[in-house]
Structure 1
């Protein structure tokens, strides 16, 4: 109504990522806490404001404005409580068209590691939210809870978009701990929670019997691979159905399971196509595969965004002129549901967060002791996947895990992107005579090493 475009971001992002987004969007205002997880966001804002004069307004999630705060800093909590009247006539010429005007930007990792900004008019978000309200059976009596970050799809689809449309209440967990999440479920009598698989694993490691979780109706797990074993344990411990679905932050929602679907479908598939979506399964040459055969998923429909913010070239690369796009997943249809058979990208999903190897490789290759580097993921029960760095040091050099971590920290990256294992080798396996690193061989190597430990 006010004609503003909003962009929600994860609170763990730091200067490198936020500077890029502020510059890219020419943001006029930010909403931040003064300090969160011991990190001073106000100081970071002050630094950003000196670089970007268009950044003029700062709203704090605090009652008091600290001394030394820049001009234009206001208390959001005090403003909200004041409930001052608004002359809505000033909005008359600013209202955004629900179909054609961008109202929201979301972020998703780029191949360089810097966030891609995705454009969303109101219409596709409402379309997806209505579909989710239906398959989840949401209503005004539900109490939804964001255990995963509100800015991400795992919780945000449930709490930020679907819940308001259903008239449901939303509760947000300020900082994750297994005990804190379980206690808040009990206190608020939450009926639906949004998590990444890592949250479920950590909550299962706590003593769930100490908490009354009987209010829970379903759990929306997304953002990473959830093993059938963990899903089975979680449903037994929480007494709630775990749903699965398919979608991406930059291509939109594809499919979803209903809360009442059988365990087999909820465990092994990502459900049925959402209303309005069209789908094609193609082989590597772009030909449609025979019915019942696996193929690369291509889809289009009313749940897709408008494209990438100020990046027509990337938009044209991801979406063809008729709106078709692909996640690169290899899938098949059975029992009316979509079964994912594999992922065609090198992307690592750690605790629901995307890590693109190219970013880490590019930075580590700058280290004076490093000759070459390859980043691969390896399976992990808690995080889904973790990140391993294979490094060939320069002649006569030793390279340690501690050196690697300290070097990457100095690059001001988000902490979740740091490799958690280092393998120092003399050479990489190759793919024929192409000169390319055979990452599948490296993945097999690290799996075997972990299995033998």
Structure 2
């Protein structure tokens, strides 16, 4: 099943320049099994698996899926919390030539019914229950929407009585050994890294339903190698998925990057600040994947009670990390903050090196990844002068193939030469990209542009401010004005006058000053991603006004 966007000319370009190689992610699991067989590969609260064991289990899962009749290119959905068997199922899907879609555990019927219908998925990997929710029951209902959904693989040792037909225990399949001579059938299912669709990712759509993004292996592998380089990741590292491995914050670090160098991965099944710190201490984690919310909650704990001296760097993604929170995280937790820029829709753009100066690591998204071309465009489509903000457009070997079986929508995001935009307003400074805000979040007040991220970054430095989000609201006279939603630190009060006085001290232009303050107990986020949901804030503000 060929990906829809990459032409032979584009493939040749990225191959000839050395950015794309004829490798798959499974190749690195096999390599580690040969070269470091007895080193640990994956750990959760119940399992500890070496590289040799991991490869054997992956081969067994993949073989049994093929033997049961799953054809190459059929789609398989993996919906699970962080756990070893779900992690193995993901790489087993690649080994079996199945197109995997890994989704967050919090998704429910509305999103999943769309995904199942859109992909025509034949199989799912799920827990029987998680967080007191019955996934088996939900998928049994979802099967009524798609007769192609034939197989349900549970992450449990036993299949419960009364389970629907076609329900199997994945751990039981993993216990059924397969002779090496039978594994040759899997070699025939190997994906073409350049042309075959090998995985799907989901991203939030404007209608509330997810959009599905096609990936061939080559660009994801290219990005993973780029991250390995800027993080100085190596075989002695222990990576930790504090955020869900289904998402980019932890998935890029643990699923895509760690196996390339044989680094161990430990998985935190259920986040609490205490359990995250205990995991780092127990497993001597050197690098963690988090969203900003995780960091904030960890910093509220008595960190001095834990030995987390092993921590080398913190990969924070999935939302804006205020510089003062980054500074506090570095001084309190010990690991350096590294930031980057990318989206599921258009791919990975840039990243900071772990040895960059603190100012750049905390306040910028670093330099373009190898192979990426970047240009900044104004509202008229012209390249902006040096130092001026503009909407970021980029092109390179780190991008997906487009939207699943949807060339029309893909063409609205990628032009014929492969250029796409993240929607961010950025500027160049000190060789790095500085984010000023999202183009869609930009507030136009009396014809002057206000970039929310600029104001949010300043207000986060106020000693009373814990979380802040700037949104626009309509105004008859000026078009739009800015409102600040603020969660204060415990035991503090924050007034409009204090906010304005503080921002003036920071020499913020007067037209950028928020003209309304809403002090709230919490700020809504999108699922478990940690990203602030500004749509909800704008809706709340409209009701109040």
1:448 alignment partner in structure 2: 517
User: Across the two proteins, how many residue pairs are aligned to each other?
Assistant: 380
Matched-pair contact (CA < 8 Å) for 1:197–1:383: no
- Corresponding position of 1:139: 234
Equivalences for residues 52-451 of structure 1 within 5 A? 52-85=146-179, 87-346=182-441, 385=469, 429-430=474-475, 438=480, 440=482, 448-450=517-519
Q: Distance in 1 between matches of 2:229 and 2:142?
A: 42
What's the offset of the Cα at 1:430? Answer: 4.3
* SS of 1:449 mapped into structure 2: strand
Whether the 8 Å contact between 1:59 and 1:76 is mirrored in structure 2 is yes
Q: Residues 385 and 20 from structure 1, CA distance in 2 versus in 1: closer, same or farther, beyond 3 angstroms?
A: farther
Mapped to 1, the partners of 2:515 and 2:430 lie a distance apart of: 36
Query: Residue 204 and residue 308 in structure 1: after superposition, are their counterparts in 2 closer, same or farther (change >3 A)?
Result: same
- TM-score normalised to the size of structure 2? 0.66
Report how far residue 337 of structure 1 moved.
0.8
SS in 2 for 1:250: coil
Find the residue that maps to 2:121 and give its secondary structure.
Answer: coil
**SS where residue 387 of structure 2 aligns?**
coil
Please give the alpha-carbon distance, in whole angstroms, between the structure 1 residues aligned to 2:340 and 2:177.
Answer: 39
> Any conservation in 2 of the 1:225–1:384 contact (CA below 8 Å)?
no
Q: Deviations over 1:322-345 (max 9, x none)?
A: 100111211111211111112112
Q: Determine if contact 1:131/1:275 at 8 Å carries over to the other structure.
A: yes
For the pair 1:34 / 2:104, whether they are aligned, the reply is no
Q: SS state of the match for residue 275, structure 1?
A: coil
Q: Is the 8 A contact 1:99 1:123 kept in 2?
A: yes
Q: Residue 237 of structure 2 contacts residue 287 of structure 2 at CA under 8 Å; is this kept in 1? A: yes
SS in 2 for 1:6: strand
In structure 2, relative to structure 1, the CA distance for the partners of 1:309 and 1:321 (3 Å cut) is same
Q: Structure 2: which 5+ residue stretches go unaligned?
A: 1-94, 443-458, 486-512, 523-545
Distance 1:237 1:81, change over 3 A: farther
* d(CA) in 2 for partners of 1:178, 1:382: 17
Hey, what's the Cα distance between the residues in 2 that align with 1:139 and 1:327? 30
Deviations 1:240-295 (A, max 9, x none): 10100111111111000011111010011111110000011111111111222221
Shift of 1:385: 4.9
Give distance in 2, aligned partners of 1:293 and 1:446: 26
2:241–2:267 Cα contact (<8 Å) kept: yes
Kept after mapping to 1: 8 A contact 2:391/2:439: no
The alpha carbon displacement at 1:439 in A equals 7.2
Normalised by the length of structure 1, the TM-score is 0.79
CA distance in 1, matches of 2:293, 2:516: 20
- Partner of residue 363, structure 1: none
Q: Secondary structure at the match of 1:30?
A: strand
CA shift for structure 1 position 179: 0.5
Equivalent residue number for residue 5 of structure 1: 99
